[in-house]
Structure 1
Amino acid sequence: MIRVELIKMLRRPRTWVSVALLCLLPTVVAIFVSVRDIGPRPGEGPAFLSAVLNNGALYPAAALAIVLPIFLPVSVALMAGEAIAGEANAGTLRYLLIRPVSRTRLLVAKLVAVIVFVLGAVVIVALVSLVVGIGLLGNERGSVVSVSGAELTPTQVAVRMLLAVGFIGISMVGVAAIALFLSTVSDSPSGAALGALAGLVGSQILVSLQASSPVAPYLPTRYWLAWIDLFRDPILWRELERGLAIQVVYAGVFLALAWANLSSKDIAN
């Protein structure tokens, strides 16, 4: 079942269109920055975008910061929102469950396919941005200046970039869990995706409001950019640990709700 879902995901044109669009925006930004040789001042604009003017090897970090707030969550929500609701909308959900396949197994297969998409998209964006950054912005050999001003070796940058990819991937699993739950509630893939995105937009707004500071630490988007602390020296682990814990809780709760709803869902009609 998992193999079937993975093959279906890889064969769908919209999977690769989503990944291509995620890679396109950082590429366009890199072209403008390299052609005009104008970037934001330090501390302004997306994280790392000012630093890559001197070292294109850091561009994957800037690219991830560019796509993370909006474009990556949209892609993940659309993919996860279609998982169950798409089958119901197409009339194939009942056929799938008539076969000797448990609902739990179906949900797990859908979840694995979404997680593979999430991690694959983040890795591809990082790799494409690395090639684009080095090709358009150059690559100064030697150490790289971290966010805190200390120097990092190329090995340290590579290791921390891998950790950042993992953190962002886990953060998007939380998004996928919310959309997957809504996918079991609605028969409309777009409705499930938009519902998840509405919740995330609301979370982003509340995080930015000082009046909602008591609840901000518990919102799903609060620690999305905590991976930037990986590029400090020493690494500040507090926000990273909280971010991981929050995503584990959201993923666990909404996956449990998705399982409970799918297990009791009436698909006779």
Structure 2
Amino acid sequence: MNTEKTTHFGFTQVPHQDKVQRVTQVFDSVATNYDIMNDLMSLGIHRLWKRFSIELSGVQPGQRVLDLAGGTGDLAAKFATLVGEQGQVVLADINAAMLQVGRERLLDRGVLVDYAQVNAESLPFANNTFDIITMAFGLRNVTDKEAALASMLRVLKPGGRLLILEFSELKIRPLKPLYDLYSFKVLPLLGKLIVKDADSYRYLAESIRMHPNQETLLEMMQSVGFDRCDYHNLSGGIVAVHRGFKL
């Protein structure tokens, strides 16, 4: 009898320990064209989603911010201007290629932040370190989401807040067939044309469908100890911003 623990990689079941490497291969492939594809896939709307997340963060000058799965650094760059010289922003990602692209991009713009290659499930920071943690479009790629949420709670300061911006469940039912067509036909085609990689964007569509919906993620956050949890649907629930506080 095969008792090996498995998890989902898109619609495929893979050995639990293999998911990180498979996700790494996806982002190694798309890193240099990540922002271009984001603009194409969302028609630029991802910038508004991220702006809304920053507003919900309530960030103040002098605070410490951890931008997990921060990739190419667009959130980190904005946070750096808001916390000022007395604050700190750490751009963190599990993927070295994404982190390198982000570092080069921010240095070219003269934006100074700190960098860390980390696994969200076991963050290498002391307890009660950060005022704010954000994670934009990264949680669905994490193997053990509960462990990651618990790790984020640990490194937040009391009173600190977590914001998770992630694809979620579309709530406008008449649009679902069109959304499925776009997800499973158009996205892989864009991936093939722009980055010569249809498979990575097929995984993107599948990973969105496998990610916990709004209420399930809210319950997961509450179960690990986050307080005053809520969420905001954006674009009809295509994405949602979940927020939780540490007591």
**TM-score band, normalised by shorter chain:** under 0.3
Higher relative contact order (CA 8 A, sep 6+): 1
Which one has a larger percent strand, Structure 1 or Structure 2?
A: 2
Q: Which is greater in Rg? A: 1
TM-score (ref. length: structure 1): 0.24
